[in-house]
Amino acid sequence: MEHTTIRGRIRYTSKKKEIMDKVRGGETYIITVHTDGRRTLRAHCAIDENSPRVLRDSIQAYDANWGPTHAYNQLTVDEEFVGSGWYRFTDTYAECEAFTVREGRSSYRMEYDGRPCTFGSHPIQADGMHCRNYDLSKGPGEQTSSHYLMTSFHHRGADGPMLLRRQGMFLVYMGDEKVTVEAGTFDAHHFRIGKNNDDNYMGTDIHPPYHLWTSTDGNYILYKAYCTGYMQTYYELVEFEQRKNFF
């Protein structure tokens, strides 16, 4: 069956002085791109820096217009199973069937007008894919997308999984740059997520700036990313492979 397979590995490190450039986890992923434009992301993510240490298995699918269609998320925190959830998205509602240790068996249904622009399940490669909501034809600048849904509001996605809604994603396209990471040298789009543009922000009431560099081929493969301010997290693509009909 005709398809394209994209495989990658992302290393998580820190820019905090006390653990500068120390490995704090990582992510491996496989993306299937179908001939009709649909795609599926499968990601295995680990954060080992300190508690809460997170191990996540995530699958999410998109239609040809990058609208989320369905997803699955399984979460382990500090060596213990926390929960899992299955999601389905339509143009008028989203639904989730979940089991968590804290809440037990749960069913969620959320009504809305218009399919969410994306689904935030916390893989870093999925963050790169959020950037496709910026209309590049308008050049560098600022745009706010429609509403989007998430499994968790925790920065590490360390609770839930549940069904949560945000009103809009604020995206800044900062132009194109050439970036070099362990996986190679690439032409990249540079984005920033969030209205906060203070890279020295050390407060905790709002998210610090989140910079991302993604591929220019329409797949939005994440080459590198970092959060500044008090988070000081850094992400780098260290392995990458793309092939036709490869499994």
Mean pLDDT of 107-129: 95
Residue 79 zone, left/alpha/beta (φ > 0; ψ -120 to 50; rest): left
How far is Cα 247 from Cα 239, in angstroms, rounded to an integer? 16
Length reported for the chain: 247
Task: List the domain boundaries for the chain.
Answer: 3-244
**pTM of the complete model beyond 0.85:** yes
150: pLDDT strictly greater than 70: yes
Q: Is-contact 128 222, C-beta < 8 A? A: yes
pLDDT tens for residues 1-37?
A: 899 999 999 999 999 999 999 999 999 999 999 999 9
pLDDT band at 216 (very low <50, low <70, confident <90, very high): very high
Kindly report whether the peptide bond that precedes residue 208 is cis, defined as omega within 30 degrees of 0: no
**Whether pLDDT at 247 is above 70:** no
